[in-house]
């Protein structure tokens, strides 16, 4: 069973950062200097997903303008993929963003995850671009 909740402590933030490190730096070879940014300790709203009682995923959003959030750093550990963790985190963050006044969500999807986000209601726009050496596409949806 997947449970998603807001992070509640500095320890929760560290758990999210550990999950992200495993997925992005260790698996996808994202340079360590690009994995964290100032939002992690300031204005990001972090979510932690648990599969049973085991941390299995992390994601966040930040407000990029009034009424619009950018969801990012969506990471699911390898043995939890395909078990509903990603969609549970996405829906949780969308609902939390709505609760905080957002009416639109944007994100930069890795091209290999584009179908996942399209199934979740996102529409791609613009050209494919590289971010941390990985092809991405900008996507958005109304909340």
Domains, the chain, ranges and CATH?
A: 2-142 (3.40.630.30)
pTM score, whole prediction: 0.94
Which residue's entry shows tokens 């750093």? 73
Start-to-end CA span in the chain (Å)? 25
Residue 9 DSSP label: S
pLDDT band with cut points at 50, 70 and 90 for residue 79: very high
In the prediction, which pLDDT does 41 show? 85
Kind of pairing, strands 104-110 and 134-142? Answer: antiparallel
Over the stretch 102-136, which tens digit does the pLDDT of each residue have? 999 999 999 999 999 999 999 999 999 999 999 99
What does residue 9 show for φ and ψ, rounded to 5 degrees? -160, 165
Residues counted in the chain: 143
């Amino acid at each position: 069973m997947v449970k998603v909740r807001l992070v509640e402590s500095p320890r929760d933030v560290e758990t999210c950062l550990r999950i992200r490190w495993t997925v992005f730096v260790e698996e996808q070879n994202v340079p360590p200097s690009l994995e964290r940014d100032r939002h992690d300790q300031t204005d990001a709203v972090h979510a932690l997903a648990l599969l049973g009682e085991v941390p299995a995923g992390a994601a966040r959003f930040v407000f990029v303008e009034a009424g619009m959030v950018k969801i990012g750093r969506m990471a699911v550990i390898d043995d939890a993929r395909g078990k509903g963790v990603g969609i549970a985190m996405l829906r949780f963050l969308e609902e939390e963003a709505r609760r905080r006044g957002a009416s639109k969500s944007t994100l930069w999807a890795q091209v290999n995850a584009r179908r996942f986000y399209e199934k979740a209601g996102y529409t791609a726009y613009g050209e494919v671009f590289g971010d941390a050496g990985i092809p991405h596409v900008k996507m958005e949806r109304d909340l």
